[in-house]
Amino acid sequence: MITLKVTPLEGELGLRYHVESRSDPEHPNLVDLAARFGWGECVCKDWQCNIWPAIRDETAPRFTKTTTCDHVSAAAKYFFLHALDGVIELHNQQET
């Protein structure tokens, strides 16, 4: 699995990211995890052409290979890991 570079956008509450593009590393894709009521959204061609039509009716399961592009997946993983770090830190502070 190739790891994509994820960069959070300043002042965006950790929900919008630039995610590296494999086909054009000089131009990262903008990902918004809060868009579409939490389904997320990406500017990549895969999301625009394949993912959005698949989730348009909002009945498909979220975060599967057919309902999430690699960029949204990478941003969601980044968000989860950083949120988890924060929760663990709070937990450890409460135990001391």
What are the C-alpha distances in Å from 13 to residues 22, 31, 39, 50, 96?
A: 26, 13, 17, 28, 28
Calculate mean pLDDT across residues 15-42.
Answer: 93
The pTM score is 0.85
Q: Give the residue carrying structure tokens 């975060």.
A: 63
DSSP bridge partners of 16: 32
Alpha-carbon span 11 to 25, nearest angstrom: 23
Contact partners, residue 35, CB within 8 Å, separation at least 6 = 41
Rg (CA), the chain: 15
pLDDT value at position 50?
Answer: 92
pLDDT band at 1 (very low <50, low <70, confident <90, very high): low
